[in-house]
Amino acid sequence: MPDEAGGILSKLVDAALAATRERQRHLPIERVLAAIPEAAPLSFMQALSTPAINIIAEIKYASPGKGRNHCSLPPGIIGRMYAGNGAAAVSVLTERRYFQGSLESLSRLASEGLPIPILRKDFIVDDYQVAEARAAGASSYLLIAALLAGRGLSRLIGYGRQLRMEPLVEVHNLREMEAALKAGARIIGVNNRNLGDLSISLDTSFALAREVEGSAEVVLVSESGISRRSQLLELRDAGFHGFLVGTALMAAPDPGVELSKLLRRTHVH
């Protein structure tokens, strides 16, 4: 990846690791594991495997490039909006410094008892983060292939499966997709954002979908830059099963209304 992008990611990872180490000092992993419910979480894989347009609706209050998003409602309210208006799953940014999220937000959302799975999005590079995601109520968690070379990626995939979670493994190019497949990823998210100049192009999704065309073993998710129904239909025809939509929803005063427009459903308050 370009040096500049690598520097940005390095800062984000360093911040995530520092925050993780601080939490671990106060709450050892043994106590986190003891707090995990006995019941299995809702299946993220199953939620994305229906023939419908499976939108992973995101709760993202801010981003490094765009600052604050319009919607600042509590996560529980937004989650109910999403679930009531047809989302297949909810994604929650839990990184505090740059995205103004928190693990507490995920916990509060999970306490709502939504009928759809929750994805934890963060810069996850450590088993502790996977365990606390499960203890907080997540059904899945994000792994970014660009951050996790070789065995680190396969190890974190395997650890999540021990806790009955299937991760979303994010890739940006063919090299990362090949690494994700080699590591055993079953759900692959193609991020349409270029890490070098931060531009967005859905061509990335279309190009990488061709590389796994006909594979029934991989669930594909397209991420970033989706704001129109026509894009969803084109991506579905290209072989995508899920669609992560964040900014287009959170930039609106009522994310539920925007989601219902994308899915052409009657809005539910």
**pLDDT tens, 248-269?**
999 888 999 999 999 987 676 6
User: What's the pLDDT score for residue 186?
Assistant: 96
- Residue 81: CA atoms inside 13 Å, Cβ hemisphere, count? 22
Note whether residue 56 is domain-resident.
Answer: yes
What 3-state DSSP class applies to 12?
helix
For the four alpha carbons of 149, 91, 242 and 49, in that order, the dihedral sign comes to: positive
Domain assignment present for 245: yes
Which residue has 């939490």 as its token pair?
23
DSSP state of 146: G
In this prediction, residue 68 carries a pLDDT of: 66
In a domain, 38, yes or no: no
Give the predicted TM-score (pTM) of the model. 0.93
DSSP string, 81-98: HHHHTT-SEEEEE--STT
* Domain-embedded: residue 36: no
Q: Residue 121 falls within a domain, yes or no?
A: yes
- Write the pLDDT tens digit of every residue in 27-43: 999 999 999 999 999 99
**Number of other residues whose CB lies within 10 A of the CB of residue 188:** 21
Q: Is 268 within the bounds of a domain?
A: no
In the prediction, which pLDDT does 50 show?
93
In terms of residue numbers, what domain contains 175?
A: 3-29+43-263
| Residue found by looking up tokens 């899945």 in the block | 140
- Quote the number of domains for the chain: 1
Query: Which CATH number goes with the domain that contains 114?
Result: 3.20.20.70
Residue 139 lies in a domain: yes
Element (H, E) at 13: helix 3-26
Q: Whose CA is closest to 29, among 187, 184, 162?
A: 162
HEC sequence for 151-168: HHHHHHHHHHHHCCCCCE
DSSP assignment letter at 220:
E
In a domain, 16, yes or no: yes
Burial of 148 (0-12, 13-18, 19+ CB in 10 A): buried
Query: What does the block give as tokens for 248?
Result: 């287009």
Residue whose entry in the numeric block shows the structure tokens 């660009």: 146
Cα 59–Cα 63–Cα 69 angle in degrees, nearest 5: 60
pLDDT at 213: 80
Residues with pLDDT less than 70, the chain: 1-7, 64-70, 150-151, 216, 266, 268-269
Write the single-letter amino acid at 170: E
